[in-house]
Chains A and B, each alone.
Chain A
Amino acid sequence: MMKRRPDFWTVVTVLIIVTLVVLLIVPILRVLLLSFVDADTGAWTFGNYVEVFTRNYYLTGFKNTLFVGLLGTLGACLLGIPLAFFTARFHLRGRAWISTLAILVLVAPPFIGAYAWIMILGSNGVVTNFFEGFGIEIPTIYGAHGIILVFTLKLFPFVFLMTQTALNAVNKSFEDAAENLGCTPWQRFTKITLPLVFPAISTGAIICFVLAIADFGTPAILGRGFRTLSTIAFAAYRSELGGLPTMAVTVSMIMMAISMLALFAQRRILSRRRYASSLTNLPVKQKLTGWRNVAVHGFCHGVVLLAMLPTLVVVYTSFLKTNGPVFVGGFGLESYSRILRDTPEAIGNSFLFALAAVVLITAFSSLISYVIVRRDTAASGAIDFLMMVPYLVPGVVMAIGFVTTFRSGSFFGLGTATMLVLLYFIRRLPYGVRSTTSSLRQVKPSMEEAAINLGAPPLTAFLKVTIPLIMPGLIVGSLMSFITAINELSGTLIIYDAGTLTMPVKIYLAVLDGEFGLAAALSTVLLLCTGVCVYAVFRFADNRDSAFL
């Protein structure tokens, strides 16, 4: 047989694998190895893990993380499931409005919610002061309950959107059959409908849990002495600067292990529940009357408005008249002129880094999705699997891995800006790949074969035929990765230096300094560009709700 040159897609597959090894596997392995190193002697040890599981400081953080993670997830389910059920099963005014607001809540940067709640319920918050006027002291937002509240209101859209999609796909005949066999509506819901959508609920819940465990901004802003693993890891990293960040990485590895165990457990439970359903009999929406109608409307609109409240407060605050950090009453644009004067580079950096990352993401996600969908090799299976990893690895872990692997002076010395771009690239790549992959799955392989058969080399066939056909998915994926990249905080905080300040970092620092006007103006800029991207996703996506999950 004649020896052929390796074909184009084999070369691409190798390129992708190399990129993922260097930017994903190596940093994570570095972090993993470092957690087994003694900071003083440099020798191999289990001491770091022993310390985490014996010292109260860490154990409390571990318990706190699980506590707020589980309760935040529970809260998200308690809001998300009824909301999904009501919108899927009852005639509801403003249904599109509710799902649009839920999506905006979902994509808004998490730390904005945290500090907006300080302005509402903090020691000097609007509501706190209001009640103080009557001599009533209400508990402030700081501490575990505040974090749980923010997680609940921030994360419920995941449960809501996933459950709603599943509810819309439940064959009505199942519910009719249950009723015919003598179930009351409540029994029908608990015995038939709920079990059928359980896989979707649990997927939504697991996303909430993983995000809650890894979240840094909320506990950092609202914790006030209540520490979770992510704030402990960050504090450890700061105090270990100059030395080996062994405790920071050990704590990070435990965070990652919790996420992975949770996902693994969910997959195990789901593997025994696979329901095939043909959509012959579409669910119908019931019309409610009287107090039930009022209550359901009140609940649905109330939940999304409450969740939107922080955003509205932030936008409102940004237009308040300020003198330095102090609000002086009335409206004004001082906050905006301050961000333009004091931190124009944060805005510029944010856009520059996020856009650079998105360019890379767009190019790679089109190639990766082709390899995943069209090539049936062990390598493409491995790439598909690796695309799940960035979801599970907290930003702190990835960033510490990047710093220890790529910090100048090490083998691959990279500049801070390059490191940030690559960090955003690798962390947000799965958003691009997922959207592009689902688009490509709808393109028949015979399209590319026809182009090749007509004389187009593989790259030409890809550019002239495949790319135009997956363009909507590619655009949606790029927008989603842009939104999530420009809002990245936890990883950036580890890596940034004076010259590479970004908007989320500046907001975080401003909140810590009590500069709420400045933070609000920057947050409004972030929210605005997030909103524009969401609008663009609505324009291009086939299914606007599922594009965001």
Chain B
Amino acid sequence: MALVEIDGLRKLYGDVVALSDISITVPSGSFYTLLGPSGCGKTTLLRTIAGFHNQNAGQIRVDGTSIEGLPAYRRDVGMVFQDYAIFPHLSVYDNVAFGLKQRKVPSAEIKSRVGEVLEVVQLGAFEQRMPHELSGGQQQRVGLARAIVIKPKVLLMDEPLSNLDARLRVDLRAELRRIQQDLGITTIYVTHDQEEALAMSDTVCVMYGGVIQQAASPLDIYLRPANRFVATFVGANNFLGVDQNGADLTLRASGADLSDLLSSAQRPVAITSAIRPEAMHVQAGEAAASADRVAIPASIKEVSFIGREMEVFAITKSGEILKSVDRPDPAIIGLTPGSPVTLTAPRNEIIFFEDSETGERLT
């Protein structure tokens, strides 16, 4: 267990900025996830912590001590690799014992510790198997056992579930979280899968373009995205244009007055509003706005029924495509493209952003 602090970290590849002024704090024993699209710098950050890259500036401290001068093999951080990286020429036992032998742990202790950790990852009977006799999920458990058996100060995981099939991914996700909590080991986890990030983490840190966009609890990330990028990347979102006319703020798609939702002092030049698809309700034909709901007239583009819910795509008069995720309604599912509908949404679920790729949230 250890507290990890990263302070002003910069990493350049030639002229390309891979990491730009990264500062985060990972509390001792917590599960901290780096989430972002590919190329956002999350894996670079993880590998810099592991010591596979040298940063150009900034510090990484574990329990207050800088680890910058330590080569990768002295850092005492365990790592679980995306492609498992199980040594194919060594048995499960020898794979797990590898790090302990490097640390000159007495052989009797190696034996008992390897046995214990293999029980933890439910591979107790597999000690003498060779890696090619194991499934992908079992190999990844060996990878996890091998990383935690050395009792590292920090555990790093680089998309450990991304090579597994969907069903196994969900099962192993819960198991990883349970083991992490049982051991209370400080964990930094990299993924591009938002569902995985929200389900497992104490803190989710969204990265984009080598910059941290927001680091917060899963709930805050979802409900209070710090900027437009986070609002788009985590969960889906409908962005609707708004017009400013003096003190008036109106929704372009319906002309609804939204002035009361955003004070004039908070308004930059370009503003966009966002409504989550699950907040959008679809009604056939025309419907009027109410005191607490906006109503947006539109026509059906596509309806897909996917079992538990239906997804409706509709085009507004101003040409914006909106998505609604709602309970299945036979009256809507039967509609043909072009049929008039009205989408309504609660006024208090409309949030505003400065209108740019990473524009800040205004409310």
Contacts and interface: CB of A to CB of B under 8 A. Distances in A.
Interface of A: 1-2, 4, 7, 444, 446-447, 449-458, 460-461, 464-465, 468-469
Interface string B70-92: 01111111110111011111000
Contacts of A468: 89
Given A465-B89, A469-B89, 4 more contacts: A450-B79, A453-B79, A455-B103, A458-B73
A446 B83 contact: yes
13 contacts: A2-B69, A7-B71, A447-B85, A450-B79, A450-B143, A451-B98, A453-B50, A454-B99, A455-B103, A456-B73, A460-B102, A461-B73, A469-B88
Residues of B contacting A: mostly: loop
A455 B99 contact: yes
B276 to A, nearest CB: 38
Nearest to A2: B69
A464 B95 CA distance: 11
Nearest to B104: A455
A455 B68 contact: no
Contacts of B103: 455
Contacts of B81: 446, 449-450
Contacts of A451: 87, 98
B102 A453 contact: no
A207 B143 CA distance: 46
Contacts of B77: 453
B74 A455 contact: yes
Contact of B85 (A450, A457, A460): A450
A364 B25 CA distance: 45
Q: Which 10 residue pairs of A and B lie closest in terms of their CB atoms, listed nearest first?
A: A454-B99, A455-B102, A446-B85, A450-B85, A2-B69, A453-B79, A468-B89, A446-B81, A452-B73, A452-B72
B204 interface: no
Specify which of B69, B71, B77, B85 lies most central, judged by the most chain A CB atoms within 10 Å of its CB: B85
Given A2-B69, A444-B83, A454 B89 contact: no
Contacts of A456: 73, 98, 102
B323 interface: no
Nearest to B69: A2
A450 B142 CA distance: 12
B150 interface: yes
Contacts of B147: 453-454
Residues of A contacting B: mostly: helix
A468 B77 CA distance: 25
B46 to A, nearest CB: 11
A461 B99 CA distance: 11
A461 B71 CA distance: 13
A4 B69 contact: yes
Specify which of B73, B81, B86, B143 lies most central, judged by the most chain A CB atoms within 10 Å of its CB: B73
Contacts of A1: 68
Contact of A455 (B73, B83, B88): B73
Interface in B139-173: 143, 146-147, 150
A1 B9 CA distance: 12
Contacts of B50: 449, 453
Given A2-B69, A460-B102, A469-B89, A453 B78 contact: yes
A193 B162 CA distance: 41
Specify which of B50, B75, B88, B102 lies most central, judged by the most chain A CB atoms within 10 Å of its CB: B102
Interface in B112-152: 143, 146-147, 150
Interface string B56-76: 000000000000110111111
Interface residues of B, number: 29
Contacts of A458: 73
A64 B78 CA distance: 66
B268 to A, nearest CB: 39
Nearest to B149: A454
Specify which of B82, B89, B103 lies most central, judged by the most chain A CB atoms within 10 Å of its CB: B89
B102 A454 contact: yes
A377 to B, nearest CB: 13
A452 B52 CA distance: 9
Contacts of B98: 451, 454, 456, 464
A392 to B, nearest CB: 33
Contacts of B88: 469
A529 B189 CA distance: 56
Contacts of A454: 73, 78, 98-99, 102, 146-147, 150
Specify which of B74, B88, B146 lies most central, judged by the most chain A CB atoms within 10 Å of its CB: B88
Contacts of A452: 52, 72-73
A173 B146 CA distance: 47
Specify which of B52, B69, B98 lies most central, judged by the most chain A CB atoms within 10 Å of its CB: B98
Contacts of A457: 71, 73
Contacts of B89: 465, 468-469
Nearest to A471: B89
A141 B339 CA distance: 92
A194 B49 CA distance: 53
Nearest to A465: B87
A454 B99 CA distance: 5
Contact of A447 (B52, B87, B99, B150): B87
Interface string B94-110: 00001100110000000
A134 B81 CA distance: 79
Contacts of A444: 83, 85
A453 B79 CA distance: 7
Specify which of A1, A444, A460, A461 lies most central, judged by the most chain B CB atoms within 10 Å of its CB: A1
A457 B82 CA distance: 22
A451 B78 CA distance: 11
Contacts of A453: 50, 72-73, 75, 77-79, 147
Contacts of B74: 455
A456 B150 CA distance: 13
Nearest to A450: B85
B273 to A, nearest CB: 45
A446 B80 CA distance: 10
A458 B82 CA distance: 21
Contacts of A449: 50, 52, 72, 79, 81, 85
A454 B152 CA distance: 9
Nearest to B47: A449
Nearest to A447: B85
Nearest to B55: A1
Specify which of A7, A460, A465, A469 lies most central, judged by the most chain B CB atoms within 10 Å of its CB: A465
Specify which of B72, B75, B146 lies most central, judged by the most chain A CB atoms within 10 Å of its CB: B72
Contacts of B69: 2, 4
A456 B68 CA distance: 18
Contacts of B68: 1-2
A468 B150 CA distance: 23
A469 B88 CA distance: 8
B286 to A, nearest CB: 54
Nearest to A444: B83
A133 to B, nearest CB: 64
A258 B45 CA distance: 51
Nearest to B76: A455
Nearest to A448: B85
Nearest to A453: B79
Contacts of B76: 455
A146 to B, nearest CB: 51
Contacts of B87: 447, 450-451, 465, 469
A453 B76 CA distance: 8
Contacts of B82: 446
B161 to A, nearest CB: 16
